[in-house]
Structure formats: structure tokens, C-alpha cells
Chains A and B, each alone.
Chain A
Amino acid sequence: MTTLAQSQAPKLRPWKLVLGGFVVAMLAVLAWGLTRDPSYIPSQLVGRSVPAFALPELNGKGTVAADELRGTPLVINFWASWCVSCRAEHGLLTGFGREVATRDDVRIVGINYRDAPAAAARFQDELGTFSYRSGQDPSGRTGIDFGVYGLPETFFIDRDGIVMARHVGPLTETALKHNLSLIGVTR
């Protein structure tokens, strides 16, 4: 009986340490993986000049062009009425737009990506109007120059016209603040 009881008592064996260590290491690596910002996708564009564009304005009255926006830190937001995730960042963007209208050290423009002006207008009627201009990119040509992968995407450009950051997915307060700091703007 005693031998049986002894043989059944848990013992510390090398393989148990290896297995236990493996479980801990595996979970640690995955836990670390979760802390990364999944919206950070390396972009070819970061560190380069902003691609040139000149787009008709969404309201049909003028153009939004890269040249006229030089000299001030700039935020470019790609959006569309069919993009469900764009709804999530809409409030933040309209609020930020109103704030930008009162300062002269940063500007923001939207690019309405592969959308119909009427649908874009309905979208703003429903959720709130942007206080800044948006250019129309119905064919997505400008989006290709920027390497847009999926909406929404936001680019942060410094005063020399160099792209400093790209944010994929809905903007958050923290992401906006962090990326603005990269182009020398405090919020």
C-alpha cells in the first residue's frame, strides 16, 4: 500500500518544469502581443513627402490641393459614408475640426473616398457636419497614392510636407493626441 501511495504522490520532475515553463512563456509572448497597437501598420509613406493631389471639393465649389496646404502641420482623414467604422470616430473628428478652426498652427482636411456626394451629404446630415473641407476621390486614385488599405485612415503631415504617421481604423482621443505630437502640435 505504501509503495502505491508513494508512486501516486506528485513529484517534481524535469519534464514538468519544462512544460510549466513553456506554458508561462507562451502566455507571456501572447500577452505582450496584445499590448501592441494593432492600428499601427508600417507605411511606405512615413518619412516621405505627402503625395500631390488636387481634388474637387465635396460641396462642388473649389478644390482641395496639397500645394496650398504646405507650411502648416496637416491632418488628412480618409472617410466614406459606407464605412461603418467611420461612424465611431465622427464625433471626435467634428469636435477636433471646430477646435482647429480657432487655431492657426494646424489644419485638417477630409478626403471622401470612393463615395457619392449625395450619400456623403446624407451621412453628415445624420451624424453632424464636418467644420472643414473634404475633397472628392470617387475613383480612389488619391487613395492609391496614399496606400489606403481600408477606411478610416488618417495621415499626419508636418510643416515641411513630410508624412510622420499613419493611423488605421477609428481615431481615439489618445491616438489623435499622440500622432499630433509627432507633427509638433500639442492638444
Chain B
Amino acid sequence: MTASLVKIGLSAATTAFALSLFAILAAALAARGSRPAFLVGARNALIVNFALVTLAAFTVMWSFVVTDFSVLYVAENANSRLPLLYRLTALWGAHEGSLLLWLWYLCLFSAIAVAIHWRSHPLSMPWIIATLAAVQAGFIGFIVFLSSPFREIFPAPPDGRDLNPLLQDPGLAFHPPLLYMGYVAFSVPFAFAIAALIRGHAGAEWVRAVRRWTLFAWAALTSGIMLGGYWAYYELGWGGYWAWDPVENASFLPWLTGTAFLHSIMAQDRRNMFHTWNVFLIVTTFALSLLGTFLVRSGVLTSVHSFAVDPGRGTYMLAFLAVVMVAGYGLVIWRAERLTAATQLESAWSREAMLLVNNLFLLAAAAVVLLGTLYPLIVEAVSGDRVTVGAPYFNKVAIPMLVAVVFLMGIGPVVPWRSIKARRLRDLLRWPALAALVALAVALLAGVREVIGIAAIGAVAFTLSATLLDFRRSVAAHRAVARGGWLSSTWRVMRNARQRYGGMIVHLGILVIAFGMLASGLFQQTVIVSLKPGESIALGPYHVTFRGVESVDGPNYRARAGRFDVSRAGVPVMEMRPEKRSYQERQMVTTEAAIASSLMGDLYLVLGDEAAHGAATVRGYWNPLILWLWVGWLVVLVGAAVAGSARLSAARTPAAAAVAQEQPA
């Protein structure tokens, strides 16, 4: 009975494949001969595709719910003892299902995009639909022909292989969906850019249309990356959150270029500049999103993940990436002259110049991260040696550029469009510069000796004070006119310029994250010791006493749990129990760190190997202020929501534009 369910899923996906090909053709014909009926057909095909792919994804998900092991993908990624939550999230636990999720998002966003922009962008619509349909066709074809989650096995095995234990964690269960949401949402701005390129239309309409899509994609990608870091920190048990591993870098690359794009489209909106640059950035961001999926899922770099890789899959993905890159960059190269900006830079001290410098730093950071990620491949191609590029390279080359970006975050928003007088700029930045100097002195006194750490502390202090001062100036200016109280004035200022102040709140969130990173990176304490029961260690403000190890059983694992009594200034405060779990079905051992979090810092304990007489190796960390990373993330999300709630079209009406003129945004 249920075995036939995935057959329905496969038929739905196959139909969707045919419809996406139809949509490409119909949309292209509609663009050539302006035949509205064809365009309506193409649009409806995209909307039907969403329903079909939802059905297809549902059949696989339901097979997980009822643990139907006659479905190969279920047998490989679930087990009768796996809890329901993880049976649901197992849908994206491996290759085939992850791509199905990717496709589902793509169909969802395509349907939404054509529905809401149908009336406002009639001339670009054929090419937007054709681009989205082409990306859909690429993914559905892959899923139907090469990487089918609908495959069945006969006879069905009595039980499944279980989900990878590392993925049996709430943090990772929701990390891929968020990350993919970000990756895929960039496909809509990409489609708008392709349409603008094909039409050779230089205007700012497409940029305004994609602003919210870009913000949404950026916020989702940021959340995916932060959640991934959170998962690495809580589940992997090495005391850190970011390892510059190829898979992490693959998600960081589109974030860097997407951040650049998010900023530079403002210049096209406000000053009618950077046309070619913007289409280049979004093509790059989307290509890097695909590359991220490709690297993680093809086994090119992470050879340990490549069990079921068949060479056909890798070839297909590469061919798909090649089509996107050649078509996208080819159009940029071919159409560049038609997009030439109407306006030129007037001054090196202007918002647009600052945005350009910010973009160059972000792009340079992306370039060095990309180089470091692919370097092992290049070296092996040239000399045959196997090398790995580790954290020291990335810390040395990428971090300084990111520190520069943080510094620019302090200058850019206070500099107006067009130009500013040098004297006025000096006045604006006097206090932030002083704050930076004070922070530098404090850092030196606190014993920080790393140049880049000191520079980062200075940059954070500079930008934090510049951002807060900017808030203060705007509120004071509003009060001078409207005579409200501080609170009500702040509220009005924020509400009237949501795009600007949403952005400033995002900046504050990024600063909070940077603050947490700096504190936990520069002042982390680490101990690795062998302890006998009764012995203790000092970590941060705590005193940790080892009591012994005992056995604990979970639903699908067995564990050894260490018991630790923790006291602070002689007063017992809690007991901590780090575990070492062994999952029976997958035969994998995972460490479950015990973590006591507070805004001051995290006490982080990991149980290592056991020795004779009840002794055990213990790794302990004191990570000061690391919780601020996740606090900053929430601030970023609030800011993105505020910025996204601003209506750009309203600001273009004459009355609103007159008001907007007074705001420097």
C-alpha cells in the first residue's frame, strides 16, 4: 500500500519535470512574440509544479513516518527506534532528500515570485519565469533520473540503518532547511537579474523588486550558518563553533557575496549606479549557492562523505553549474555596455564610495576563502600531493578583511550620498575614534597581544559608538522639531526610516556577534587532564570536581556518563554530566558535551577515554561571553525584519520622497 505511495511521488516529480520544460519554452515564445496566453500557461505551470513537488516530498516524508523500509532512502536513513521528530527531519538527512528539499523551496519561491510580481513586472516576467523554470528543470531532472529518493528495494529489509547520529540533534535537524532556504531564495533575485540582462534594461526596478527577497535570503542564510555554528558547538564537542571546514566555507561564500549585493543594490536604487556590478554579484551569489550544494553533495572535496556517489551525479551537477555560470557571466560580459551607469562617483567620501570599498573587501574575503577551499584540489591536480588548508590560513587572510568590513560599518552609514566635507566627517567620527583608542588601551592592559585581536577590538568599539551616536543624533534632531520624549522620538524616527534603522539594528547585531567571538576567542581557557574520582580542576570562575563515570541507556544508544560537581566560590551550584554515546545501528560514537551557559560565559565539559581505577580523560573549556553570538543573531533577525517591513515603493511617491530626502538613507 505505502510502497505505491513513492510511485505517486515519482510520477508527480516526472510530471513536474515535463511542466518545467514546457514553462521554459512557453515563456521564451511569449517573450519573442508577446503572446500573453503562452505566458499565462508558463506561469500556471510553475504554480502547478509547486503542488506536484509538495506532493512528491510528502510521499517520501510519509514513508518515513510509517517507517516503510521498502523505500531505499528510508531504509538507509531511519530505523524503527528513531523518534518521530528525527524520522521527519531525516527527509534531508542524506543526499537525495536534501536535493528534494532544495527543489521544494525553489518551487515554493518561484510560485510566490510569479504571483506577487506578475502585474508589476510584465516585460521582465517571461524571462523571470524562463529562468526559474530552467533552474527547476535542472533540479527535477537530477532528482528523477540520477538521485531518486523514490527508489524501492525488494525485499524490504526488516529494519533500517538509522539516521546519522550526528544529525539526531535539534540544532542540525533545522540547520539544513534554513541554509537551503537562504541558498534557494537567491534564485529569485538571480532570475530578475537575468531578465534585466536579457532585456538590456538598466533601470533600478529589478533591484527594488528583489530587495525583500535578498533580505529574506540573507537572513535565512545567516540563520542557517549561525545554527550550524550552534550545532557544531553543542554537538561536536570540540569547544568551538567554526572550523573553516570546506562544508562551512561553502555556506560562508554566498553569505559574503550576498552581503555585498544587499549593500550595493542600495546604490543602484538611490544613485542609479553599479548596474553591472550588481548583476555580477547576484550571479556570483547564486553560483556560489549552487557550488555550496555541489561541494557538499558531490564528494569532490569531502571524500569521506562520498559513499554512494556515482560519477554520473557529480558530472550532472558540474554540468548544471557550468550552464548557470556560462549563461550568467556570459550575459554579464555580453550586455555590460547596455547597463553602463548613468552616474559616476562624485567623491571618495560618499556613501556610494564606502559601499564600493565594503563590497571590495567582502569580495576579496570571498575570493581568499574560495581559494583556500579549492586549494587542495588545485595542488593535487598540479603536483599529486594531498594537502589540507586549515584554520590558520583562513584566520590569517580572511579575518583581517572582515575586521576592515566591521570598521567600514562605522563610517559608511554616517556618510551621506554624493559627498561630505572632510571637516564634517572629522566631527562625526571624533568620538568613535576616541572610543576605539580607549578600547585599544583596555585590550593592551588586559593582556591581548595579537595584532589582529587588538585591531578587531578597536574596530568593534569604533563602529559600536558610531552606530549608537548616529541613533542619538537622529533622535535629537527629531526632538528639536517635534518636541517628543526620548522614547517616543526614537520610536518615530525608527518607524519613519525602517530601511535605514533596520539596517543599523542588523549592524548592532553583527557587532554583538563580533564581541562574543572576540571574547571567547581571546580569553578562552582550555584544560585536558586525566582525573581520578574526587580530583578537581579550576576553570573560569568555577571549581569542577570529578565524581566518576556510569552507564546510561537511551532509546537507540548506550552511553557512559561522567558526573561532575561544580562549585563557585566554595558554594555548590550544579552537577554536570557529559556523555559518550554509542549508537547501536550505525555503530557510531558521539560525544555529548555538558554545557552550562550564562551571559558571562559557558562552562563546557567533554568526557574522553576511561582508564583504570575509574579515572577518565576530561576536556574542559571556559568560553567567556560566547552566548552573545546567539544573542547577536536574534538582534540581526529583528533588524532584518524591521528593514524588510519598509515599503520602498511608498518612499517613491512625491510626498514620501520629500520626507525621505531629509533622512540620510
Q: B200 to A23, Cβ gap below 8 A?
A: no
* In the complex, chain A residues whose CB is within 8 Å of the CB of B294: 30
With A and B bound together, what is the CA distance between A39 and B306 in angstroms? Answer: 7
B161 touches A30 (CB 8 A): no
In the complex, what distance in Å separates the CA atom of A36 from the CA atom of B379? 13
Residue of B nearest to A17 (CB): B333
B288 to chain A, nearest CB (A): 11
**Chain A contacts with B in 121-152, Cβ cutoff 8 A:** 126, 140, 149-150
Output the nearest chain A residue to B339 by Cβ-Cβ distance.
A8
Name B312-364 residues within 8 Å CB distance of A: 314-315, 318, 321-322, 325-326, 329, 332-338, 340
Contact A38 B337 (CB under 8 A): no
When chains A and B are docked, how far (Å) is the Cα of A27 from the Cα of B374?
Answer: 11
Complex: A85 Cα to B321 Cα, angstroms: 28
On whether A82 and B161 interact (CB within 8 A), knowing A8-B200, A27-B318, A34-B315, the answer reads: yes
Q: Which of A11, A33, A113 contacts B301 (CB under 8 A)?
A: A33
Q: A172 to nearest B CB, angstroms?
A: 10
A7-B337, A33-B300 are contacts. A26–B325 as well, Cβ < 8 Å? yes
Over the window 31-47 of chain A, the binary record of Cβ atoms lying under 8 Å from chain B Cβ atoms (1 yes, 0 no) is 11110101111100000
Interface assignment of A169: CB less than 8 Å from any CB of chain B: yes
Are the CB atoms of A82 and B585 closer together than 8 Å? Answer: yes
Report the bound CA distance from A140 to B587 in whole Å.
9
**B650 contacts the other chain (CB 8 A):** no
| B337 touching A40, Cβ below 8 Å | no
B298 contacts A34, CB within 8 Å?
yes
Judge whether A10 is part of the interface by a CB distance below 8 angstroms: yes
Question: In chain A, residues 57-115, which have Cβ atoms closer than 8 Å to a Cβ of chain B?
Answer: 82-85, 113-114
* Most interface-central of B159, B161, B303, B374 (chain A CB within 10 A): B303
Give the chain A neighbours of B309 by CB distance below 8 A: 38
A19 at the B interface (CB under 8 A):
yes
On whether the beta carbons of B307 and A169 are closer than 8 Å, the reply is: yes
Task: Indicate whether B47 reaches chain A with its CB closer than 8 angstroms.
Answer: no
Whether, in the assembled complex, A187 has its beta carbon less than 8 Å from a beta carbon of chain B, the answer is: no
* Distance in Å: Cβ of A166 to nearest Cβ of chain B: 13
Contacts of A126 in B (CB 8 A): 155
A28 (CB) vs chain B CBs: closest residue: B381
Give chain A residues whose Cβ lies under 8 Å from the Cβ of B400. Answer: none
A13 surroundings in chain B (CB, below 8 A) = 336
Chain B residues near A149 (CB, 8 Å)?
A: 304
Contact among A10, A39, A85 with B336 in the assembled complex (CB-CB below 8 Å): A10
Q: B129 an interface residue at 8 Å Cβ cutoff?
A: no
Residues of A within 8 A of B76 (CB): 84
Q: B75 at the A/B interface (Cβ < 8 Å)? A: yes
> In the bound complex, do residue A30 and residue B300 qualify as a contact, i.e. CB atoms below 8 Å apart?
yes
In contact, B374 and A19 (Cβ under 8 angstroms): no
Q: How many residues of A contact B (CB 8 A)?
A: 36
Residues of B near A52 (CB, < 8 A) are none
A9 to chain B, nearest CB (A): 6
A-chain residues with CB within 8 Å of residue B423 when the two chains form the complex: none
Q: Does A56 contact B (CB under 8 A)?
A: no
**A84 and B161 contact, Cβ closer than 8 Å, known pairs A7-B337, A19-B332:** yes
Our count of residue pairs bridging A and B at CB distance below 8 angstroms stands at 88
State the CA gap A32–B280 with chains docked (Å). Answer: 26
Q: In the assembled complex, which residues on chain A have CB atoms less than 8 Å from the CB atom of B585?
A: 82
Chain B contact residues (Cβ within 8 angstroms of A): what range? 35 or more
Given contacts A33-B300, A34-B315, contact A16 B307 (CB under 8 A): no
B245: chain A residues at CB < 8 Å are none
Is A20 a contact of B587 with CB atoms below 8 Å? no
Among A9, A82, A149, residue most surrounded by chain B Cβ atoms (within 10 Å): A82
- Provide the residues of chain A in CB contact with B422, threshold 8 Å: none
Cβ of B301: which chain A residues have Cβ within 8 Å of it?
Answer: 33
Separation in Å of the B202 CB from the closest CB of chain A? 10
Minimum distance in angstroms from B574 CB to a CB of chain A: 35
B residues less than 8 Å from A1 (CB atoms):
none
Question: Cβ of B40 < 8 Å from any Cβ of A?
Answer: no
Q: Assess the A41–B386 pair: CB atoms within 8 A.
A: no
Q: In this complex, what residue of B is CB-closest to A37? A: B303
* Contact between A85 and B374, CB atoms less than 8 A apart: no
Name B321's contact: one of A9, A16, A27, A83 (CB within 8 Å). Answer: A27
Query: Are A38 and B377 in contact (CB-based, < 8 A)?
Result: no
Kindly report which residue of chain B lies nearest to residue A87, judged by CB atoms.
B153
Residues of B contacting A30 with CB < 8 Å?
294, 300, 318, 321, 374, 377
B29 within 8 A of A: no
Give min CB distance, A113 to chain B, whole Å.
8
Whether A29 lies near B308 (C-beta < 8 A) is no
- Whether B334 pairs with A10 at a CB distance below 8 angstroms is yes
List the B side residues contacting A38 at CB < 8 Å.
299, 303, 306, 309
Residues of A within 8 A of B336 (CB): 10, 13, 16
Kindly name the residue among B72, B294, B300, B386 whose own CB sees the greatest number of chain A CB atoms within 10 A: B300
B535 at the A/B interface (Cβ < 8 Å)? no
B337 pairs with A8, CB closer than 8 A: yes
The answer, yes or no, to whether B631 is at the interface (CB within 8 Å) is no
Chain B residues in contact with chain A, CB under 8 A? 72, 75-76, 153, 155, 157, 159, 161, 200, 280, 294, 298-301, 303-304, 306-309, 311, 314-315, 318, 321-322, 325-326, 329, 332-338, 340, 374, 377-378, 380-381, 386, 585, 587
The 5 closest A-B pairs by CB, nearest first: A38-B306, A33-B300, A38-B299, A34-B314, A16-B333
18 A-B pairs (CB sep. < 8 Å): A7-B337, A7-B340, A8-B338, A9-B337, A10-B337, A16-B333, A19-B280, A20-B329, A23-B325, A23-B326, A26-B325, A27-B321, A29-B381, A30-B294, A34-B298, A38-B299, A85-B308, A113-B587
- With A11-B337, A31-B318 given, name 15 new contacts (CB 8 A): A8-B338, A9-B337, A10-B337, A20-B333, A26-B325, A30-B318, A34-B300, A39-B306, A41-B303, A84-B76, A114-B587, A149-B304, A150-B307, A169-B306, A169-B307
